Amino acid sequence: MIQVQNLDFSYSKKSQLFSQLNWESRTGNIIGMLGKNGAGKSSFLRILAGLLFPNSGQVSVLGFSPEQRNQTFLSEVFFVPDENFLPGYLPAERYQQILQPFYPRFDSEIFTRLLDRFEVDSQEKIKNLSFGQQKKVGLAMALSSGCALILLDEPTNGLDISSKSAFRKELISVLSEDQTVVIATHLIRDLENTLDRVMILDQGQIKLDADLSDLADSLHFGVSQSEVSGAIYSQSSALGVQFIQERTTQAQTVVNLELLFEGVTSGVPIASFLSKTNSLTA
């Protein structure tokens, strides 16, 4: 579905953002792309969408080279950027009617239901909606598009707590098995219980790329009142010492994505503790 090989990308000659980056994704996953501010998450999504071009290397999305912006490619990829991309002078419903013919599997009933669920007035001009409401229109478009690949840049940024929860539920319920979603975010908690796979981008490289199920099988996440021996990574918090251990006989735990992220970005080779071969590290 997505194959990235030896990708080099920079905005200027002085600093390289991605260097020999490799990545592959399978169909039917909700993939979280995590990274610190400036790690290159938005840039990576824009390369996948064909809005930025690699300096060198190969990028293939659904069998297409994104930079060629093939018509079929454009009808199968929906990108929601972090900033508002909608025409302010149109109401959401009218914009949906204009956009729908470009996406062969667009479902207008889902669109209407989502706007209702998100409590957005579909008759109001988009420019008169708040930032969060405009964001919800973009997300409703993406989730109704039926596209094979949906790219979401910081989708929960600007949403209130109940809207974040509604978005998570709708994301899981609306998607079909032949759709793939890549979500770039640094708001890790917002994606809890939503992701199938997590990819961590740091210092121009993918430092971890693993299924949540593999992480839960191979790692044990816990909190203790004192230091834990044999921890792969630990961090003091208000709750006590949060730690990650290699899992042997311990009970399976929910993956603590924030702790995992801190561990990986502080240089711990977490991927070497994973049992499955489809997890990798840079």
Ligand X SMILES: Nc1ncnc2c1ncn2[C@@H]1O[C@H](COP(=O)(O)OP(=O)(O)OP(=O)(O)O)[C@@H](O)[C@H]1O
Nearest to 37 by CA among 242, 196, 201: 201
Q: Give least dist CB 135 to ligand X, A.
A: 14
Q: Is 38 in the site for ligand X (CB under 6 A)?
A: yes
Pick between residue 18 and residue 233 the one whose CB is nearest to ligand X. Answer: 18
Figure out which of the listed residues 7, 39, 143, 150 binds ligand X, where binding follows CB under 6 A: 39
| Contacting range for ligand X; rule: CB under 6 A; set: 32-40, 90-98, 113-121, 205-213 | 32-40
- Amino acid at residue number 139: L
Site membership for ligand X, residue 144 (CB under 6 A)? no
Write the burial class of residue 254 (CB in 10 Å: 0-12 exposed, 13-18 middle, 19+ buried).
exposed
Q: Judged by CB under 6 A, which of 3, 6, 11, 72 binds ligand X? A: 11
Q: Please give the angle made by the CA atoms of 128, 130 and 98, to the nearest 5 degrees.
A: 60
The piece of 36-44, 56-64, 142-150, 216-224 that touches ligand X (CB under 6 A) is 36-44
265 binds ligand X (CB under 6 A): no
Count Cβ atoms within 10 A of the Cβ of residue 207 and give its class: 0-12 exposed, 13-18 middle, 19 or more buried: buried
The answer for 85, left when phi > 0, alpha when psi is -120 to 50, beta otherwise, is alpha
- Minimum separation from the CB atom of position 260 to ligand X (A): 17
Put the strands of the sheet holding 18-25 in their side by side order.
18-25, 2-9, 56-61
Residue 191 CA: distances (Å) to CA of 53, 76, 99, 160, 243: 29, 24, 28, 14, 20
Asked whether 38 and 206 are in contact (CB, 8 A), the reply is: no
66 binding ligand X? (CB under 6 A): no
Tokens of 91: 């109401």
DSSP class of residue 125 equals B
Q: Which is nearer to ligand X, 202 or 211 (CB)?
A: 202
Using CB under 6 A, which of 13, 14, 37, 225 touches ligand X?
37
x/- map, 180-199, ligand X, by CB under 6 A: ------x-------------
What is the x/- site pattern for ligand X, positions 42-61, by CB under 6 A?
xx------------------
Give the integer Cα–Cα distance in Å for 166 and 120: 13
> For residues 217 and 230, is the Cβ–Cβ distance under 8 A?
no
Residue 17 or 92 with smaller CB distance to ligand X = 17
Select the span of 40-48, 135-143, 214-222, 223-231 touching ligand X (CB under 6 A): 40-48
Tell me the closest approach of the beta carbon of residue 20 to ligand X, in angstroms: 17
Q: Which stretch binds ligand X (CB under 6 A): 39-47, 83-91, 118-126, 170-178?
A: 39-47
Residue 35 binds to ligand X (criterion: CB under 6 A): yes
Residues at the interface with ligand X (CB under 6 A):
11, 17, 35, 37-43, 186
